[in-house]
Amino acid sequence: MRTIELGRMSWEEVAEVRKADPVVLLPVGTIEQHGPHLPVGSDNMVADFFARKVAEATGAVLAPALNYGCSDVFRAFPGTLSIRSETFKAVLRDVCHALFDDAGFHRLVIVDNHGGNETHVEEVARGLRRERGRQTLIGCLYPWNLGYAVMREVYPDAGAVYGHGGEPETSAMLAMYPEDVQMQRARKGGYQPVRGWTMRGYTKVAVPGYRAGEGSLYLDADEVAPDGVTGDPMSASAEYGRQWVERVVGFGIAYVREFQRITAGG
């Protein structure tokens, strides 16, 4: 294969490459604020870095990314460019149909690096499976979430630093895109009370007398965390970021190899 990127292949090359029935990686993200110190394209940048590394190591084909997603909760922060879930699902569905029915690929792993897309990605994938039958098996990887899972024991107290625009996101960005991380703008984040409610997330509230359990309240993120940050980016380091890349990309490679092995030959 001359290149792993579908967008850089000619149609003849795509026809040649598809004969080997490769797994296709489709990065999906969004444009949304990640605090005063990280770019609004962070979800996409990380999805691209991750998918590229995984494709290089596994021989998967990297499809052009879908960089717009559903980030309604961050709408008040300049630079957040959110699209409606109906639009997102329609575009994702059409791109998947084109990959399967026009380009002739059979094996697809979506790299969705934004939580607000998760339920929509699942709905589209399940819809395609209902239409096409159970042979259609669509995988998904969520790099940010993998990072939260595999970095926990690296920090003295992960719960105190984890968060949107906090850790381990800031460290991961320091390792991948150091020139785009502005640590001089970084500030510790957290949830502030809104109209007397004690917040446990942008849309999650606690009630007195219960240490566990939470109710939902559909607020905008800037009401809850004015800087757009939860957790603590101040404890970020390039060394944590290096470990993030090693562990998260390592998991991604292992997952795609397993997907290739199990779905080989149909």
* Closest approach of Zn ion to the CB of residue 72, in Å: 12
Three-state secondary structure call for residue 61: strand
> Which of these segments, 111-119, 128-136, 179-187, 196-204, binds Zn ion (CB under 5 A)?
111-119
- Burial (Cβ within 10 Å: 0-12, 13-18, ≥19) of residue 34: buried
**CB closer to Zn ion, 22 vs 27:** 27
Minimal distance, residue 30 CB to Zn ion, in Å: 6
Q: How far is the CB of 133 from Zn ion (least distance, A)?
A: 32
Q: How far is CA 135 from CA 11, 54, 132, in A?
A: 26, 24, 8
Considering beta carbons, is residue 89 or 114 the nearer one to Zn ion?
Answer: 114
Locate 161 and state its tokens: 């630093």
Closest distance of CB 256 from Zn ion, Å: 22
Q: Is 43 in the site for Zn ion (CB under 5 A)?
A: yes
Residue 120 interacting with Zn ion (CB under 5 A): no
Closest CA to 112 of 148, 139, 130, 85: 139
Q: Which range binds Zn ion by CB under 5 A, 91-99, 113-121, 168-176, 235-243?
A: 113-121
CB of 99 within 8 A of CB of 26? Answer: yes
How many residues bind Zn ion (CB under 5 A)? The answer is 2
Q: Which is nearer to Zn ion, 43 or 227 (CB)?
A: 43
Short-list 141, 131, 55, CA closest to 93: 131
Q: How far apart (Å, rounded) are the C-alpha atoms in residues 57 and 212?
A: 42
Q: Could you say whether residue 37 binds Zn ion (CB under 5 A)? A: no
114 belongs to the binding site for Zn ion (CB under 5 A): yes
Q: Should residue 89 be labelled a site residue for Zn ion when binding is judged by CB under 5 A?
A: no
Segment contacting Zn ion by CB under 5 A, of 60-68, 85-93, 112-120, 151-159: 112-120
Minimum CB distance to Zn ion, residue 100 (Å) = 27
Give the interface segment with Zn ion, choosing from 49-57, 60-68, 108-116, 223-231 (CB under 5 A): 108-116
Coil, helix or strand at residue 124: helix
Residue nearest Zn ion (C-beta atom):
114
123, two tokens? 């709905």
φ/ψ of residue 252, rounded to 5? -60, -45
H-state helical runs in 66-157: 85-97, 118-132, 143-150
Instruction: Tell me whether residue 22 or residue 189 sits nearer to Zn ion (CB atom).
Output: 189
77 class by beta-carbon count within 10 Å (0-12 exposed, 13-18 middle, 19+ buried)? buried
Q: Which stretch binds Zn ion (CB under 5 A): 5-13, 39-47, 129-137, 249-257?
A: 39-47
Which residues contact Zn ion (rule: CB under 5 A)? 43, 114
